[in-house]
Amino acid sequence: MARDRRFLIAGNWKMNGLLKDGVDLAKAVAAGADGRKAELLVCPPATLIKSVADAVQGTAVAVGGQDSHYENEGAYTGDVSPVMLKDLGCSYVILGHSERRAYHGESDEEVKAKAEAAHAAGLVAIICVGETEQQRDAGETLPVISTQIYGSVPEGATPQNTVIAYEPVWAIGTGRTATPEQAQDVHDHIRTYGMATYGPDNWEGVRILYGGSMKPGNAAELLSQPDVDGGLIGGASLKAEDFLAIADAADALM
Ligand code: PEP
């Protein structure tokens, strides 16, 4: 099947891995990256970015951060700026992950400011949205997603500088996965809402990833949905074999 949008298979390693684990994992992913149709991305913790970037240099694996500030420098103890990520070899950054929204109180407005700064630094922003279980049960999924998109995505978003990750909060790290139909419904909504709000030319090509317990056993059916353009993968990205098996599923659909 010919797809207009190239699959992006992105690993969110979260706060996992010491130096040796990270480098070994990166090398194992890189060893399986040659000749792939899908694009591969790993997002290690900030402490591992430089070593991972060195380990995958010259391969088809891209590297991203898991968060970055809306300023490039200054008195922000503990934070990392987009130009710092760029300087280490990153081309992507994950922004507004539900864990950042929940544990660090990140608002849509802050995520948008971070995305603008990431764009200015030349990074592709992977902007995360997703409803809680309570919101889904109350039938609020689509309005919640529209509000998050409107609040978090800058006006200058294009397919070149922005990826959206739909990550239902109830499916992250729980082993529960959205059904392919549930995922497609929300992805279709994000596409339609984005095209109406930001202009069709800008949004037709924006990649929308699914995230939430994606693994080798469910990747093919999720990725075969027309508006699912890849995966943001947590747990299963910590094992090269599983991560590459998900990439295999994507390749088979391209
Ligand atoms: C994530 O946190 O981005 C994620 C999708 O995690 P998991 O795959 O472990 O559910």
The answer as to whether 13 is a domain residue is yes
Structure tokens at 82: 């987009």
Number of domains observed in the structure of the chain: 1
- The alpha carbon of 69 and the centre of ligand 1 are apart by a number of angstroms equal to 22
pTM: 0.98
Overall residue count recorded for the chain in this entry: 254
Q: What is the pLDDT of residues 9-20, one digit of tens each?
A: 999 999 999 999
Q: Is the CB of 17 inside a 6 Å radius of any atom of ligand 1?
A: no
Q: What is the pLDDT of residues 71-119, one digit of tens each?
A: 999 999 999 999 999 999 999 999 999 999 999 999 999 999 999 999 9
3-state secondary structure 199-248: CHHHHCCCEEEEECCCCHHHHHHHHCCCCCCEEEECHHHHCHHHHHHHHH
The answer as to whether 3 is a domain residue is no
Active site residues: 97, 167
Structure tokens at 28: 């194992």
- The alpha carbon of 77 and the centre of ligand 1 are apart by a number of angstroms equal to 27
* Residues spanned by the domain of 248: 8-252
pLDDT of residue 2: 61
Q: What is the pLDDT of residues 24-48, one digit of tens each?
A: 999 999 999 999 999 999 999 999 9
pLDDT of residue 202: 81
Nearest alpha-carbon partner for 211 in 187, 189, 192, 191: 187
DSSP label at 48? G
The answer as to whether 59 is a domain residue is yes
Nearest alpha-carbon partner for 206 in 237, 177, 172, 166: 166
The answer as to whether 1 is a domain residue is no
Nearest CA to ligand 1 atom 4: 234
The answer as to whether 93 is a domain residue is yes
Q: Is the CB of 230 inside a 6 Å radius of any atom of ligand 1?
A: no
The answer as to whether 242 is a domain residue is yes
Q: What is the pLDDT of residues 182-232, one digit of tens each?
A: 999 999 999 999 999 999 888 899 999 999 999 999 999 999 999 999 999
pLDDT of residue 90: 98
Which CATH number is 81's domain given? 3.20.20.70
The answer as to whether 232 is a domain residue is yes
CA distance 63 to 47: 13
The answer as to whether 2 is a domain residue is no
- The alpha carbon of 216 and the centre of ligand 1 are apart by a number of angstroms equal to 13
Q: Is the CB of 211 inside a 6 Å radius of any atom of ligand 1?
A: yes
Nearest alpha-carbon partner for 87 in 50, 124, 56, 114: 50
